[in-house]
Structure formats: C-alpha cells, structure tokens
A and B are shown apart, each in its own frame.
Chain A
Amino acid sequence: MPLRSIAINRFGLGGRPDEDPPADPRRWLREQFASFEPTPAAFSAIPTRAQVADKLAAYADERPDSGKRDDPEKVEALQMARRRLRRNAQDQYRALAGARARAAVLSKAPFIERLVHFWANHFAISVDKQTTVGFGGLLEVEAIRPHVLGRFADMLGAVEQHPAMLLYLDQVQSVGPESVLGLRAAQRRGVGRVPGLNENLAREILELHTLGVRSGYSQADVTEFARALTGWSIAGVRRGPAARIIGDRARPGTFVFVEDLHQPGTRTIMGRHYGQKGFAQGAAILGDLAASPATAHHIATKLARHFVADNPPPALVQRLTATFLDSGGDLRSIYSTLIAAEEAWVPGPAKFKTPWEWSISALRALGSTGLADNQMADLLAELGQPTWRPGSPAGYDDTAPSWAGSDGLVKRVEAAERLAQRLGGGLDPRSLCDKILPGVLTQQTADAVARAESLAQGLALFLVSPEFLRR
C-alpha cells in the first residue's frame, strides 16, 4: 500500500472524489494540526447544553413528590412528561449524531476528526441511559473537540466535569457520608436510607479513562477517589440530592462544585496524600492520574491499536508512552510520534474497519455531503454501531473480531448496494478506485469492478472489496 493511501485511509477517514491524494502524506497529516476546525459548519445548528438541561429540568419540575405517587392523575402526568422528555432528548441526540457524521464526511482534517472519534470512544458514554441521551453528543463537542490537539490532562478535566459523564456514571447521586448534607440526612432519616457514596465515576476514571485496568490501584483507592469527587455536580437538572442545595446559582447544565456534598478530610490514593480542600482535591488527583506512567502506557496502547494493529507492536507503544511522559501529555507530540513511526506505515491492511469507519469512508468515497439524520442513524444501527451507544463505559471495541462478522458483512453489502444506487449518480468506479485507494486495488478487485453490470453495481463492489473493508 503506498504511503498516500495509508495516510488517507488508515490515518484519515477515506478519500473523496473531489480531493486528490496527498503528495507528501506525513506532511499532510501534520498540517491538519492547523487546519482542524473544532466547530465546523456541521455543528452550527446543534442543540445547546442549556436547551438539553432545560428539558431535563422541566421534566424534574413535573415529577410529583413521593407522597403523591398513588394519585392516578399525577401518575399519568408523570408518564406523559417522561414520554415528552424521551422524544425531546431523542431529537437532540439525532441532531448531534447527524452533525457528527456530516462533519466527518466533509472534513478536510480527517486525521484529527478520526482522533476526535477515538477520544469520544475512549471517554465513552452510552445514550441508552435516559439522562444522557440529550447530553451524550455534547460531551464530544464540548469536551473532546476543543482539546483534541491540546493536553491530555485538559481533556480529562473537561470530560469529568461534563454533565453527560457526571450523569452517565452517577456522580450526581454521590454524597459524602460526613458532608454537611450527608450528616443532616443521617440525622433525619436514620441509617439505611441515607444517600451515600457512589463509586462508579471514580472507578471508571481509574480503570478506563486513565491508569487502565489491573494497573496497580486497589479498591481502597477507588473509594478514596470517590470520596474526593463528592460535590462534583451539575446545576439545574434536578437529579440527586444536590438539586435543592444548588438551586438557581448556576445556569442549567453547568458544572458546579457543591461544598455541602463534599466529604471533608485528607485522601490517600496509591500512597499519595491529598490534603486539598473542596474541588481542588479531586482536581489534584485527576492531575496526577493524567501524568501517571500507567496512564501514558494505557493511552499509548490504545492509540497504537487504533492506528497500527489489533496487537500493537510493543516498541511503538513504548515510544508513544515515552513521548506522552516527556511532553507532559501533549497530544500533538504524541500524534507526531505516531506519524513518524515506521510501524504505522507498513503496507498491507492493518485494521478491519468498524461500521462507523466503513460508513463514513463509503459516504466520502461517493462524494456525499452526508445523509439525513435519521437515515444515518438507521444505517449505523443496522450495521451494529449506533453513535454514542456502545452500551458500556468501555466504549466500542477496536479490534477485528468484534466487527468482522458474517451478518455484519451481509449488511454492509446490502448497504453498499443501496448507497451506490442512491448516491452513486454517474460516478465511475473505475476512475474512483485510484483516487480513494491509490495503488491498493488488486487486479481481482479491479476486474470485478470493471465487469460489474452497472456503474452502481461496480461502486457497490468497490465499497465491499477486501481493500475497502480494511484500512
């Protein structure tokens, strides 16, 4: 595989008929550091955080108090409110997912766009949880995109303070047992019904976002970290015990630190003591986690797996880890090491495309400007990778066995046929091949494409060829 084809397909999101393959592939990738748009036109009409939060808040306002829950009228009103919320959130989700796909299809900085998708999947939320449906897409827009070329620590901080993450991993429910509110509740209600610590976010930060599973932290570290994070919450969405305390002191959907929920005292995590007060305590821990060698190794492994091989070469992982640590988690430096790595430019297919990658590259190959929001959502659902819905905070798997399945393959062939017929409009697959996969096509595929019975069939065959299914 020539370098320009690797640049377009393995690093980028696939070629477009209206773009020429880069003359200097490595330089083309580096230039995208400057040309990447954090807020491209595709995002001009997406719902704002306040809009999403307002819908959630309105729903919360309509919830009857617990005492009135056997009133049939109230119950019905609640059900209606729930349906309304679901519909609103679903619309917001689709608009955001549609914008994401359009940005990817049209991007002139597809390498960086791919990195956005990588990080959004690293910091995965899943929109099958009701409260995250509307906020889900905003995590990527507000916490990932602005930091994709910045420092890992900043991205980490933005993610962990984002409403989507705080809601998805139950942080807003967490209360320090000896916090002002915790003590008050204990006095009033007695033990047993007291709201308490929720370790979900703390655990996933350690296991998934930073250090990585089995990297040396203990359950005691998880609990200590969870204590430190108490008080991290969101204004205006009226979930969890913080709701009444927060009141109106911040705009709906913004991050707030609620002192009255925070567990006082010094925390000890992996032998290190954190005596800071309030928000600064959790932030200091996050800062240390972001700079940890285990985190560097974890991120390096995932990046190498994404760009180079399902089983990434250890030498490359080592070099990426070293860059991470030497640069203080500077993402551009890390990407530069990746671009420079010989291992990343090995000819021959390195990765089996995920449904998302395949769909985006197919639309790009067809010169499309993107599908309608609902069509895009249907396509991805059909192929098995609905946007921001991996079903777990671990995100979608990034190796071939998860995606190279027979049913998935049939669905790709079917989708290719449909897309080629609908969007192919006069494109000649014979000339397209060389633009999208320059110097890659085997004679067998070229022949199959050339002998197709129609242009549309030729395009479909190209889109499901072994060369196009992999990158």
Chain B
Amino acid sequence: MIDRRSFLASGALAAALGAAPRIAFASAAGEQRFLFVIQRGAADGLHSLVPLADPGLRAARAALVDGLEEPVKLDSLFSLHPALVNAAALFRDRQALFLHAVATTYRDRSHFDAQNLLETGGIRPYAERSGWINRMLDLLPGARAMALAQAVPMALRGDHPVASYAPTRRAGPTPDLAARVASLYAGDRQLHDLWSQATQTAELVDDLSVGNGRGGKALGDLAARLLAPADGARVMMVETGGWDTHTAQKGRLAAQLGGLDALIGALKAGLGPAWDRTLVVVATEFGRTVAVNGTGGTDHGTAAVAMLFGGKVRGGRVLADWPGLRQSDLHEGRDLRPTQGLEDVIAGAVAGHFALDPEEVGRRLYPSIDRMKPLSGLIHAR
C-alpha cells in the first residue's frame, strides 16, 4: 500500500485517473460531479438530525439528548448535532437538504444484508450482481468513476471499470474494530491479557474520527483533488465506517459526525467553483433504536437520515413525513418508522443533478423495485 502523500506527489495520481484525453468534456456527466458517502454500520439519524421538539425523544433517550451541547435549531422540529458545523453553515446557505425517516426496502437488521441492498439497489440481499452507481454510469457515458476505498465497493461494481484507492495508511486497527476485538476476547484469558496490554501501549486510530476530524478532512481534501480537475473523476464513492454505536454513543458519534463534517467542509473548499456542479449524497444502511440501551448506545433500527449537499441542492430544508416517536408510532415497537424510500431520494437527486429523466434513472438504478417514485424538487434546474 502506498501512502497518500507519496501517491499525490509521485504523479501516480495522473496514472490512476488515466492519461486519457479530456473525454470528460464530451460525457453526459460533463462538469457535473457526484459523490456518494456511505456510512457503514448504521448511523443514528435521531442523533444526527435530532427531532428535539418531539416529546417522545427525551422519553426514550434522555441520556443521549441531554448530552447534546448547543444543537443547531433548523426548524420547529429538528436540530442538528453540534459537531455538524459545516453542514449547518451549508444549511443556512441553502446548500444542504436533509431527509428524515428514510429507509431502503430492507426491514431486517443485518448490516451485511442491508448494505448489500443499499449498494446494489436490489430488494433481496445478494440477488443483484452490480451496484447502482455502476449502473448509473450507463447514463453518463465517458464519466470516470473511482472509489476511495481499499477495494471497489459493491455499489461501484459492475460492467464499467472503476478505480479504487485507499487514502490512508493506518497506524493500527480502527477503534471500532479494536473495541469489538476487545469484547471478542473477553472470555479468553490469554488473548484478553494480550489485548489489554496492547491497547494500553498503542494508540489506535481511525480514518474518520481521528484527531478532531483530521481524518475526515484528509478524505475530503483527497476527494476534491480527484474530482476537481477538468479530466478528473466525475463519480466517486467514499467509505466511512465506525457508525455502529452500540456503546458510548455520545462521544463516539460526536467524533464520527465531526469527521463527516470535516470531510464535507474540505470537499467544498477543495472543489472551489466546481462545488456548484457537485452533488453529495450521504446515506447509511439503516437507523438505530429510538431507545438508548444499557451501555449508553443504541442498537440496530430501521429508518435513518439521508443528507444531500451541493451548490445546486434545494437546501435549507428538512424533508420528513414525520412518523412520531410515541411507542405506538414505532416500527415493531422500537424503531423510527420509515416514511420515505431512500431509493426515491437517490433516484430523484441523481436525475435532478444530471438533468436526466427521473423514470429512466429509477428503472436503471433500481430495476427490481416496482413502484419507484423518484422525488422531484431536490435539485435546482440547470
């Protein structure tokens, strides 16, 4: 693995993007850029875009809500987590649009199966062989696609060639994995002791949550440098992990959101004028339980939040057919009930951004979903 700095310095960047002629000018994507940020692990929408005015919220998770210092009020119902500084600024500038109570068609609680559906756009796990972003390239001839990831993620796999690049060389396992390893070794004396020693001596770091968003900023910087050039990538996916906050959610999610926020901020800054031609979609595989659990965290849930950022996003709004948080309102008595299909959000945003026919986009990205209703009005007309 090469590290990011030497990668950028060595001119390998140009090689990774290909020395091809400036074909991007002729593509349907043209100057339009698309970035999908996946939040692997089920990000807690209720703690990101907080329905602070819903009385059910505090009833179910006072421990989490009370820990929020100065959430940013967006409208009569919703406030934004205070770590989302750049996102709040973009919201004020009407370049950030948030959607709540959103979910894919998936209604079970396995990360793997849910991520597979989020990425393939199918309705049965592992039934679809390609990813919706790769199929989106059918509609954008000539657009170059790339993943900031160790390997090409499912969403980008398919007929069109896609490059992948791992942005950082880690100094150790990610904190989330490290925490899981610690509990995995709880019953094994030898390994438990070894692991305890190790974690006392080593500082284990993560891409996104490291150093007050430094990791997120680095990702955003890199994404911008790859997306900005005239012959740069036009379609990109960024992997983020660490969202599976079963324990100690308050601090962990603050760090995660801080990292995500730094990513968005760095991306906008790095893209400069191209930000006006960029759409960022942030989504996760499912949400988390409304109630806080016994370890200061939340468990696998259903509906979550999706975020759209970009210069031409019809932002400054929260779109939600709010289902409520009373016990009787909840899906299976525990989760935020989905009232908006994520697929319709994505198809609508993609169609608006690239000025494509929404029906066509819906069919191409989500061929196995019968009644697609791509959301209109998410993006300003070009």
Q: CB within 8 Å of B: which residues of A?
A: 404-407, 409-410, 413-414, 416-418, 421-426, 428, 430, 442, 444-445, 448, 450-458, 460-461, 464-466, 469
Q: Lowest 10 CB-CB distances: which A-B pairs, in order?
A: A453-B41, A421-B150, A453-B244, A406-B198, A406-B197, A466-B188, A413-B173, A406-B194, A410-B198, A454-B40
Query: Could you say which residues of chain A place their CB within 8 Å of the CB of B176?
Result: 453, 457
User: Are B198 and A448 in touch, CB under 8 angstroms?
Assistant: no
Q: Can you list 18 contacts pairing A with B, beta carbon distance less than 8 Å?
A: A404-B190, A410-B198, A414-B170, A414-B172, A417-B173, A418-B1, A421-B149, A421-B166, A451-B111, A451-B244, A451-B246, A452-B111, A452-B180, A454-B241, A456-B150, A464-B181, A465-B184, A466-B184
Interface residues of B in 192-247 (CB under 8 A from A): 194-195, 197-198, 201-202, 204, 241-244, 246
User: Are B184 and A448 in touch, CB under 8 angstroms?
Assistant: yes
* Residue from the set A454, A461, A464 with the largest chain B CB neighbour count within 10 Å: A454
Chain B's closest residue to A430 (CB) is B112
Contacting A422 at CB < 8 Å: which of B40, B150, B241? B150
Q: Say whether, besides A414-B172, A444-B187, A409 and B195 are in contact (CB < 8 Å).
A: yes
8 additional A-B residue pairs with CB within 8 Å, beyond A410-B202, A417-B173, A454-B112: A406-B195, A410-B172, A417-B177, A424-B151, A450-B110, A453-B242, A454-B241, A461-B181
User: Are A445 and B184 in touch, CB under 8 angstroms?
Assistant: yes
Query: Could you say which residues of chain B place their CB within 8 Å of the CB of A442?
Result: 187
Q: Quick check: is B183 within 8 A (CB to CB) of the other chain?
A: yes
> Bound complex: CA of A343 vs CA of B183, how far in Å?
32
Query: Could you say which residues of chain B place their CB within 8 Å of the CB of A466?
Result: 184-185, 187-188, 191
> Bound complex: CA of A458 vs CA of B241, how far in Å?
13
Query: Could you say which residues of chain B place their CB within 8 Å of the CB of A444?
Result: 184, 186-187
Q: How far in angstroms is the closest Cβ of chain B from A465?
A: 6
User: Are B191 and A469 in touch, CB under 8 angstroms?
Assistant: yes
User: Are A428 and B112 in touch, CB under 8 angstroms?
Assistant: yes
User: Are B151 and A421 in touch, CB under 8 angstroms?
Assistant: yes
> Bound complex: CA of A86 vs CA of B172, how far in Å?
32
Chain B's closest residue to A466 (CB) is B188
User: Are B194 and A409 in touch, CB under 8 angstroms?
Assistant: yes
Contacting A410 at CB < 8 Å: which of B41, B111, B126, B173? B173
> Bound complex: CA of A424 vs CA of B239, how far in Å?
15
Q: Quick check: is B88 within 8 A (CB to CB) of the other chain?
A: no
Q: Quick check: is B253 within 8 A (CB to CB) of the other chain?
A: no
> Bound complex: CA of A16 vs CA of B10, how far in Å?
38
Query: Could you say which residues of chain A place their CB within 8 Å of the CB of B304?
Result: none
Chain B's closest residue to A411 (CB) is B172
User: Are A457 and B191 in touch, CB under 8 angstroms?
Assistant: no
Q: Quick check: is B163 within 8 A (CB to CB) of the other chain?
A: no
> Bound complex: CA of A442 vs CA of B185, how far in Å?
12
Q: Say whether, besides A417-B177, A426-B154, A453 and B241 are in contact (CB < 8 Å).
A: yes
Chain B's closest residue to A469 (CB) is B191
Could you tell me the dominant secondary structure of chain A's interface residues?
helix
User: How many of chain B's residues have a CB under 8 angstroms from any CB in A?
Assistant: 43
Q: Quick check: is B350 within 8 A (CB to CB) of the other chain?
A: no
> Bound complex: CA of A240 vs CA of B194, how far in Å?
48
Q: How far in angstroms is the closest Cβ of chain A from B289?
A: 14
Q: Quick check: is B72 within 8 A (CB to CB) of the other chain?
A: no
Chain B's closest residue to A422 (CB) is B150
> Bound complex: CA of A452 vs CA of B173, how far in Å?
14
Q: Quick check: is B174 within 8 A (CB to CB) of the other chain?
A: yes
Query: Could you say which residues of chain A place their CB within 8 Å of the CB of B172?
Result: 410, 413-414
User: Are B180 and A454 in touch, CB under 8 angstroms?
Assistant: no
Query: Could you say which residues of chain A place their CB within 8 Å of the CB of B187?
Result: 442, 444, 466
User: Are A448 and B180 in touch, CB under 8 angstroms?
Assistant: yes
> Bound complex: CA of A425 vs CA of B244, how far in Å?
21
User: Are B188 and A455 in touch, CB under 8 angstroms?
Assistant: no
Q: How far in angstroms is the closest Cβ of chain B from A108?
A: 27
User: Are A409 and B191 in touch, CB under 8 angstroms?
Assistant: yes
Query: Could you say which residues of chain A place their CB within 8 Å of the CB of B35?
Result: none
Query: Could you say which residues of chain A place their CB within 8 Å of the CB of B243?
Result: 453
Q: How far in angstroms is the closest Cβ of chain B from A23?
A: 28
> Bound complex: CA of A444 vs CA of B187, how far in Å?
9
User: Are B194 and A405 in touch, CB under 8 angstroms?
Assistant: yes
User: Are B194 and A404 in touch, CB under 8 angstroms?
Assistant: yes
> Bound complex: CA of A302 vs CA of B41, how far in Å?
46
Q: How far in angstroms is the closest Cβ of chain A from B203?
A: 11
Chain A's closest residue to B200 (CB) is A406
User: Are A448 and B191 in touch, CB under 8 angstroms?
Assistant: no
Q: Quick check: is B139 within 8 A (CB to CB) of the other chain?
A: no
Q: How far in angstroms is the closest Cβ of chain A from B324?
A: 28
> Bound complex: CA of A422 vs CA of B165, how far in Å?
11
Q: How far in angstroms is the closest Cβ of chain A from B86?
A: 24
Q: Quick check: is B155 within 8 A (CB to CB) of the other chain?
A: no
User: Are A418 and B180 in touch, CB under 8 angstroms?
Assistant: no
User: Are A454 and B184 in touch, CB under 8 angstroms?
Assistant: no
Q: Quick check: is B46 within 8 A (CB to CB) of the other chain?
A: no
> Bound complex: CA of A310 vs CA of B198, how far in Å?
24
Q: How far in angstroms is the closest Cβ of chain A from B44?
A: 12
> Bound complex: CA of A455 vs CA of B112, how far in Å?
6
> Bound complex: CA of A153 vs CA of B151, how far in Å?
49
Fill in one digit per residue for B237-262: 1 if any A CB lies within 8 Å of its CB, else 0: 00001111010000000000000000
> Bound complex: CA of A423 vs CA of B166, how far in Å?
13
User: Are A417 and B198 in touch, CB under 8 angstroms?
Assistant: no
> Bound complex: CA of A184 vs CA of B150, how far in Å?
66
User: Are A458 and B112 in touch, CB under 8 angstroms?
Assistant: yes
User: Are B181 and A413 in touch, CB under 8 angstroms?
Assistant: yes
Query: Could you say which residues of chain B place their CB within 8 Å of the CB of A425?
Result: 151
Chain A's closest residue to B39 (CB) is A453
Q: How far in angstroms is the closest Cβ of chain A from B202?
A: 6
Q: How far in angstroms is the closest Cβ of chain B from A310?
A: 13
Q: How far in angstroms is the closest Cβ of chain B from A81?
A: 30
Query: Could you say which residues of chain B place their CB within 8 Å of the CB of A464?
Result: 181, 184
